[in-house]
A = this chain, B = another copy of it.
């Protein structure tokens, strides 16, 4: 049995690294605070005598040997980076619950057949450097090291330079560290488990997700002396796109569509916006529906640009197909939850996770626990100590079940 208090203490201890006054965490990937929480994790792994490998994308892998060195490792983990308005659980719970599993086995002197591995993926959030799940994507070979290194944040600082700066560029080639299966515990980030009073979500897969960069360009000019009929207001075109995406998503059951990032230039009270840049996020469990939504968005953008007299550039920056998780891994989660006595429900993840990239390489699944009001990417994100402990216990049981097969 995992130590619920030790797990909670670790969550609260790391929550101080990058803490915000409103109770959240702003621990952007590859920031100084990211370095500090990585150092914290490395020290805890050292204390358990684990061997740590860091790869060239900054992904951290700590291994605990099993009885049979010929077997591939069973991995647990998630990410320690957060959104700028992040909470204390998104990602962090999956890493610290994995650590808690290893601490529990250590204290019990339990030796698994396969080696166990704890993983901290770099830049899951994608908030400082897009796209999300970049570290696991480089590991899985979806993105090259060069592509990753070149990604720039809003200030022009790059992923590669930031990784070097915080000292977490590892020696290992991306993909060189492999494992035989992966279990990722995570908060649901949605309202379903809480609404139905279910303790554990048995995750079946992840919905598909497509991101686009959209730049609309008009003419910057004086707000006072440029008549309405002579304007090419890039922000007006973008306003129509914002409304249109909301309309398109609402027209497809189970779809979501959002603009979460937007920047306007020159951004001065008395200058008509000459250029506006935004990212569009479309999701649905079916790729066919996503194809239709994408076509509708392309038409929307063309029409809005034409109506306002703008030029535009719409560029797909990421595309993740819907993911179906491994049946055996899912069976182990189900067995583990039953053994631990928790209620379960099958569920599809609305959010993307590193497990999506892992699933392309090895048998993978996820375990969800509820979060208050379905809220995440928000300082008010909240999961109870007992809910965190339930997730960690099911993670332990699932890993041991998988190890026994």
A residues whose Cβ falls under 8 Å from a Cβ of B: 83-85, 125-127, 130, 132, 188-192, 195, 207, 209, 211, 219-230, 233, 235-236, 238-240, 242-243, 246, 249-250, 255-274, 279, 281, 283, 349-352, 373-378
User: With A83-B271, A227-B191, A269-B211 as given contacts, are A222 and B130 in contact (CB-CB < 8 Å)?
Assistant: no
Given A224-B352, A239-B239, A260-B273, 20 more A-B residue pairs with CB atoms under 8 Å apart are A83-B268, A85-B265, A190-B225, A191-B230, A195-B230, A219-B378, A221-B377, A223-B260, A223-B281, A223-B283, A224-B349, A226-B374, A233-B258, A258-B270, A261-B264, A266-B377, A269-B279, A269-B281, A270-B351, A270-B377
In the complex, what residues of B have CB within 8 A of residue A239's CB? 238-240, 242-243
In the complex, what residues of B have CB within 8 A of residue A351's CB? 222, 224-225, 270
Q: List 10 A-B contacts (CB under 8 A).
A: A84-B267, A222-B376, A224-B352, A226-B256, A239-B242, A259-B273, A260-B272, A261-B264, A261-B269, A271-B377
Measured CA separation A360–B233 after assembly (Å): 34
Measured CA separation A209–B191 after assembly (Å): 44
CB nearest neighbor in B for A223:
B258
Are A268 and B260 in contact (CB-based, < 8 A)?
yes
Partner of A224, one of B220, B240, B350: B350
Partner of A226, one of B190, B236, B238, B265: B190
Are B261 and A267 in contact (CB-based, < 8 A)?
yes
CB nearest neighbor in B for A275:
B85
CB nearest neighbor in B for A279:
B269
In the complex, what residues of B have CB within 8 A of residue A269's CB? 126-127, 130, 132, 211, 260-261, 279, 281
In the complex, what residues of B have CB within 8 A of residue A283's CB? 223-224
In the complex, what residues of B have CB within 8 A of residue A255's CB? 228
In the complex, what residues of B have CB within 8 A of residue A279's CB? 269
User: With A190-B227, A220-B378, A221-B375 as given contacts, are A243 and B250 in contact (CB-CB < 8 Å)?
Assistant: no
Measured CA separation A233–B262 after assembly (Å): 13
In the complex, what residues of B have CB within 8 A of residue A271's CB? 83, 85, 127, 260, 377-378
Measured CB to CB, the closest approach of chain B to A269, in angstroms, equals: 4
Measured CA separation A378–B222 after assembly (Å): 8
Measured CA separation A317–B377 after assembly (Å): 32
Measured CA separation A255–B231 after assembly (Å): 13
User: With A190-B227, A221-B377 as given contacts, are A258 and B281 in contact (CB-CB < 8 Å)?
Assistant: no
In the complex, what residues of B have CB within 8 A of residue A233's CB? 246, 258
Measured CA separation A275–B91 after assembly (Å): 24
In the complex, what residues of B have CB within 8 A of residue A190's CB? 221-222, 225-227
In the complex, what residues of B have CB within 8 A of residue A268's CB? 83-85, 125, 127, 260-261, 377
CB nearest neighbor in B for A241:
B239
Measured CB to CB, the closest approach of chain B to A181, in angstroms, equals: 24
Measured CB to CB, the closest approach of chain B to A48, in angstroms, equals: 32
CB nearest neighbor in B for A213:
B269
User: With A220-B85, A230-B195, A240-B243 as given contacts, are A225 and B189 in contact (CB-CB < 8 Å)?
Assistant: yes
CB nearest neighbor in B for A348:
B225
Interface centre among A230, A256, A258 (most CB of B within 10 A): A258
CB nearest neighbor in B for A318:
B269
Measured CB to CB, the closest approach of chain B to A218, in angstroms, equals: 11
Measured CA separation A239–B256 after assembly (Å): 18
Measured CB to CB, the closest approach of chain B to A209, in angstroms, equals: 7
In the complex, what residues of B have CB within 8 A of residue A265's CB? 85
Measured CA separation A320–B212 after assembly (Å): 42
8 shortest A-B CB distances, which residue pairs?
A: A225-B350, A190-B225, A224-B350, A239-B242, A223-B258, A224-B351, A239-B239, A85-B266
CB nearest neighbor in B for A90:
B222
